Amino acid sequence: MSRTAGFYFKFIVVDTAGSLLRFPVWWYNEGLFQILKWVKQKLVYRLRAYGFGIWLRNFFVPMYGQYDLAGRVVSIFMRFFVLIGRFIAFFTEALGYTLLVLLFAALPVLALLFFLSNLFQVGVPTSYVS
C-alpha cells in the first residue's frame, strides 16, 4: 500500500468513524452548553430591552407631568398594564427559547429514529411485484 493510499484510508475510515462516534458526545455536551449560553445571552438582552427596572422605578411617578389625582391614577394603571404585557411577552420568548433547546436536544434522536424506520421498513414496493 502506498503512502498516499494509507493516508486516504486513514482519512476516510479512522477520521470519519471517529467523527461519527464523537458527534453525540459533542452534541449533548459542548453543543448543548453553547446553545444554553446563547439562550441566556438572548434572554438577558430581552430582559434589559423590556426595561422592567425603569418601569418599576417610575411606577408611581405621574406620566407627562400630570401631578393631579387623575394623572397619577391613569399613570399607575397604564404602567401596571404595560408591565403585565411586557412580562407576558418576555415569558412567551422564554418559552420559545426553551422549546428551541428541547428541539436541539431531541433532533439527533429523531433523526436516528427516522433513519432507522426508513432503513428497516418491511414490505416490497408494489411497482416491483409482477
- Model pTM? 0.74
Q: What pLDDT does 97 receive? A: 97
Cβ atoms 39, 101 nearer than 8 A: yes
Buried/exposed code over 82-95 (b: 16+ C-beta within 10 A; e: otherwise)? ebeebeeebeeeee
Confidence bin at 11 (pLDDT 50/70/90): confident
Q: What is the rounded distance in angstroms from the CA atom of residue 126 to the CA atom of residue 110? A: 28
Q: What is the pLDDT of residue 127?
A: 62
Instruction: Work out the average pLDDT over 20-40.
Output: 93
23-32, 48-57, 60-69, 71-80: which range is least confident on average?
60-69
In the 8-state DSSP scheme, what is residue 128? G
Considering only CA atoms, which of 101, 103, 109 is closest in space to residue 36? 101
Residues above pLDDT 90, as percent of the chain:
54
- Computed over every residue of the chain, the mean pLDDT equals 88
Q: What percent of the chain has pLDDT over 70?
A: 92
Could you tell me if 71 and 63 are in contact, meaning their C-beta atoms sit under 8 angstroms apart?
yes
Could you identify the residue written with the cell 423590556?
Answer: 50
